[in-house]
């Protein structure tokens, strides 16, 4: 089995191996075991994961806990892992929830096993650092620096010691001026990725238009002479070969397809392909031709493979990205990871072991991280969802607690773009019973008695179809736990097919769909309130009740019917609801 301790040998172990080899001379070669394979660290949701060069021996490096839901600024956790040249330390970027809104980004230095993490290069209210990359000495980093000034923001790339006491600017950008909208738009440029040559004499700096996520430029900088060369427009993410004579990078020149990581269109980027170029710039080779977006190439220490992330299975979805490897001549494309969430930002461990352990695409069982599923939050035992896999699609994002319940399946479990291309056959989402409140009663009260059914110990309701005024799309609403969950398909999807999907539902904290589903929970006080309305109708009639309660007579009739049908929904339990659950928009 692959071991990181084996992969990154200590100096003492290397000396011992050298002495052992010299003592036994020729016989040492025959008796010594083969070197441990190289490894790859990469970002996987909120954590850093390490795998062997062939994708095996998957191990977690860091874990920061589940993502906070409702964070529109992005998920929290660890990303952009980089192992130090001696393999003793791990450099990463850690995102934590900010006190007021959004996330807080910090550069963190940890041990090689991810433990003992501490912030470095903290900056202050006016100075911040981001996108670090190790220098060969292991004592300093090349890092992007931003300084807020009266006239604007000064951005640069600096070489800084880990304690931040020694900082030297090596690449400066024009001041980002905010005097006018025209100045703001035309001067917003920032470094967003840095690659360092093995001898530390050159940098590959990716510059980005701060207002255009898809506008990037790769610049080759000679630190001795200060000369810079534009590798090309629409280029990004450079990584040097072990001998420093070539580098791999991404170019989207001539491409039109877009890959989006979020619903916001500013997070979409033109799909790129992999290239290799010599540092002189007169020899260039294209490695990939695809509709996918290949990103973040990283050259292996033995020079035999280039690791990168790509979304081959669903080219338009950033959530479908996985880790791949390819030979520098464009051969031996290998699929190394499969799972949800996306695997991105690969970084080779500084080991001497072989990287060319696999060649070609082999099926892989998807790894589903449950850390970002809130299994320890109140209510998950009675919150129901469709699970992490729907057909060949894998979950990419989900809201499993709170007022709104939905799951997006924008990742794929198989290496087959044709099989992954169709959207999920079913849509599963709904509302919490706390938020639905009396609306749930209206839905039940207005439906025909014959539309109800039972499956797995809970009640479901058939809705829609080609009836009068119908959209032609059927759906089945399931009343289970604290969830009013709707399952729908397309115009060709019939009720029997939708009802069969109830068999795949499960509580959020359950690994598999087994046995009966949770009984229905209504907001505390709702059953009595409905019965009160029913008694009022019997006493003063529909019309006067609707006037007194300021409701339409149709709604009052539906609530009266609901009061009679509550037994139809099975043994009903109640739960206390917070103000946020009942009205998530309060205060806005």
The percent of residues in the chain predicted with pLDDT above 90, rounded, is 57
DSSP E strands in 135-179: the ranges are 140-149, 152-161, 167-172, 176-177
Query: What's the token pair of residue 180?
Result: 């006018």
Is the separation of the CB atoms in 380 and 509 below 8 Å?
A: yes
Does residue 457 have a cis peptide bond before it, meaning omega lies within 30 degrees of 0?
no
The pLDDT of residue 13: 35
My answer on whether 394 and 358 are in the same domain is no
Distance CA 521, CA 98 (A): 34
Query: What's the token pair of residue 3?
Result: 């071991």
Query: For residue 14, is pLDDT > 50?
Result: no
Cα dihedral across residues 311, 312, 316, 317: positive or negative: negative
Is the separation of the CB atoms in 427 and 476 below 8 Å?
A: no
CATH code of residue 56: 2.120.10.30
State the average pLDDT over residues 205-217. 87
Phi, psi for residue 243 in degrees, rounded to 5: -85, -5
What are the CA-CA distances from residue 288 to residues 278, 328, 330 (Å)? 17, 11, 7
Phi, psi for residue 468 in degrees, rounded to 5: -60, 125
Nearest to 144 by CA among 126, 159, 166: 159
Domain boundary among 321, 338, 368: 368
State the average pLDDT over residues 267-279. 88
The pLDDT of residue 211: 82
Is 346 part of any domain?
yes
In the chain, the number of structural domains is: 2
Is 90 part of any domain?
yes
Domain span holding position 553: 380-582
Segment among 301-305, 429-433, 466-470, 531-535 with least mean pLDDT: 466-470
Is 276 part of any domain?
yes
My answer on whether 296 and 261 are in the same domain is yes
Q: How many CB atoms lie within 10 A of CB 27?
A: 10
Is the separation of the CB atoms in 335 and 343 below 8 Å?
A: no
Query: For residue 32, is pLDDT > 80?
Result: no
pTM, full prediction: 0.84
Segment among 246-255, 276-285, 395-404 with least mean pLDDT: 395-404
Distance CA 137, CA 146 (A): 24
Q: How many CB atoms lie within 10 A of CB 246?
A: 20
My answer on whether 241 and 307 are in the same domain is yes
Is 12 part of any domain?
yes
My answer on whether 422 and 354 are in the same domain is no
Is the separation of the CB atoms in 346 and 298 below 8 Å?
A: yes
Cα of 474 vs its chain's centroid, Å: 32
Helix (H) or strand (E) holding 480: strand 474-480
My answer on whether 461 and 536 are in the same domain is yes
Q: What is the dihedral of CA 272, 273, 276, 278, to 10 degrees?
A: -40
The pLDDT of residue 382: 84
The pLDDT of residue 61: 80
Distance CA 294, CA 163 (A): 34
Domain boundary among 343, 368, 393: 368
State the average pLDDT over residues 42-70. 77
Query: For residue 11, is pLDDT > 60?
Result: no
My answer on whether 391 and 355 are in the same domain is no
My answer on whether 237 and 346 are in the same domain is yes
Q: Coil, strand or helix: which one is 498?
A: helix
The pLDDT of residue 124: 84
Distance CA 349, CA 86 (A): 9
My answer on whether 397 and 329 are in the same domain is no
- pLDDT tens, residue by residue, 488-526: 988 889 999 999 999 999 998 888 899 999 999 999 999
Is the separation of the CB atoms in 429 and 395 below 8 Å?
A: no
Is the separation of the CB atoms in 295 and 275 below 8 Å?
A: no
State the average pLDDT over residues 156-165. 94
Q: Which residues have a Cβ under 8 Å from the Cβ of 264 and sit 6 or more positions away?
A: none
Q: How many CB atoms lie within 10 A of CB 190?
A: 18
My answer on whether 343 and 405 are in the same domain is no
Query: For residue 471, is pLDDT > 90?
Result: no
My answer on whether 361 and 392 are in the same domain is no
Distance CA 482, CA 479 (A): 8
Is 373 part of any domain?
no
Is 554 part of any domain?
yes
Q: Which residues have a Cβ under 8 Å from the Cβ of 467 and sit 6 or more positions away?
A: none
My answer on whether 221 and 358 are in the same domain is yes
- pLDDT tens, residue by residue, 258-270: 776 654 444 677 7
Q: Coil, strand or helix: which one is 19?
A: helix
My answer on whether 330 and 471 are in the same domain is no
DSSP E strands in 242-292: the ranges are 246-251, 258-260, 268-270, 273-278, 284-286
Is 32 part of any domain?
yes
pLDDT winner (highest mean) among 44-48, 378-382, 452-456, 575-579: 452-456
Cα of 531 vs its chain's centroid, Å: 46
Domain boundary among 324, 344, 368: 368
Is 375 part of any domain?
no
């Amino acid at each position: 089995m692959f071991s990181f301790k084996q992969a990154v040998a200590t100096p003492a172990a290397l000396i011992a191996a050298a002495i052992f080899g010299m003592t036994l001379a020729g016989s040492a070669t025959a008796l010594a075991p083969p070197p441990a394979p190289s490894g790859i660290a990469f970002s996987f949701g909120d954590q850093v994961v390490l795998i062997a060069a062939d994708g095996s021996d998957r191990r977690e490096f860091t874990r920061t806990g589940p993502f906070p839901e409702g964070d529109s600024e992005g998920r929290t956790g660890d990303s952009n892992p980089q192992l130090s040249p001696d393999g003793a330390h791990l450099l990463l970027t850690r995102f934590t929830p900010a006190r007021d809104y959004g996330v807080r980004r910090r550069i963190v230095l940890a041990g090689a096993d991810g433990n003992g993490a501490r912030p470095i290069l903290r900056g202050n209210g006016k100075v911040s650092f981001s996108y670090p990359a190790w220098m060969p000495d292991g004592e300093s980093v090349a890092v992007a620096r931003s300084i807020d000034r009266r006239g604007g923001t000064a951005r640069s790339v600096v070489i800084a010691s880990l304690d931040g006491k020694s900082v030297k600017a090596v690449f400066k950008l024009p001041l980002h001026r905010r005097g006018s909208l025209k100045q703001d738009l035309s001067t917003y440029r920032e470094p967003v990725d840095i690659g360092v040559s093995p001898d530390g004499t050159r940098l590959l700096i990716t510059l980005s238009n701060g207002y255009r996520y898809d506008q990037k430029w790769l610049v080759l900088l000679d630190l001795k002479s200060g000369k810079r060369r534009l590798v090309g427009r629409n280029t990004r993410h450079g990584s040097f070969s072990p001998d420093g004579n070539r580098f791999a990078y991404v170019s989207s020149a001539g491409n039109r397809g877009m890959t989006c990581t979020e619903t916001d269109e500013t997070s979409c980027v033109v799909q790129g392909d992999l290239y290799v170029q010599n540092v002189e710039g007169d020899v260039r080779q294209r490695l990939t031709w695809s509709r996918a977006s290949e990103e973040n190439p990283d050259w292996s220490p033995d020079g035999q493979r280039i690791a990168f992330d790509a979304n081959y299975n669903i080219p338009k979805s950033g959530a479908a990205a996985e880790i791949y490897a390819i030979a520098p001549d464009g051969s031996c494309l290998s699929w190394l990871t499969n799972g949800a969430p996306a695997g991105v930002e690969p970084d080779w461990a500084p080991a001497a072991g072989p990287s060319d352990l696999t060649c070609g695409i082999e099926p892989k069982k998807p790894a589903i991280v449950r850390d970002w599923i809130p299994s320890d939050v109140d209510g998950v035992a009675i919150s129901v969802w469709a699970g992490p896999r729907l057909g060949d699609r894998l979950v990419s994002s989900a809201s499993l607690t709170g007022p709104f319940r939905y799951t997006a399946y924008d990742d794929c479990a198989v290496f087959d773009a044709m099989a992954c291309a169709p959207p999920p056959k079913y849509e599963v989402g709904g509302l919490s019973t706390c938020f639905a409140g009396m609306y749930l009663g209206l839905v039940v009260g207005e439906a025909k008695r014959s539309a109800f059914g039972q499956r797995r110990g809970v009640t479901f309701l058939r809705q829609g179809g080609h009836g009068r005024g119908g959209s032609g799309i059927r759906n089945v609403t399931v009343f289970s736990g604290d969830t009013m969950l709707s399952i729908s398909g397309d115009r060709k999807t019939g009720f029997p097919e939708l009802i069969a999907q109830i068999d795949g539902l499960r509580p959020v904290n359950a690994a598999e769909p087994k046995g009966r589903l949770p009984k229905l929970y209504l907001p505390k006080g709702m059953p009595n309130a409905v019965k009160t309305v029913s008694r009022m109708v019997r006493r003063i009639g529909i019309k006067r009740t609707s006037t007194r309660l300021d409701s339409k007579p149709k709604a009052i009739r539906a609530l009266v019917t609901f009061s009679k049908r509550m037994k139809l929904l099975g043994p009903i339990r109640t739960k206390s609801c917070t103000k946020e659950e009942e009205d998530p928009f309060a205060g806005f």
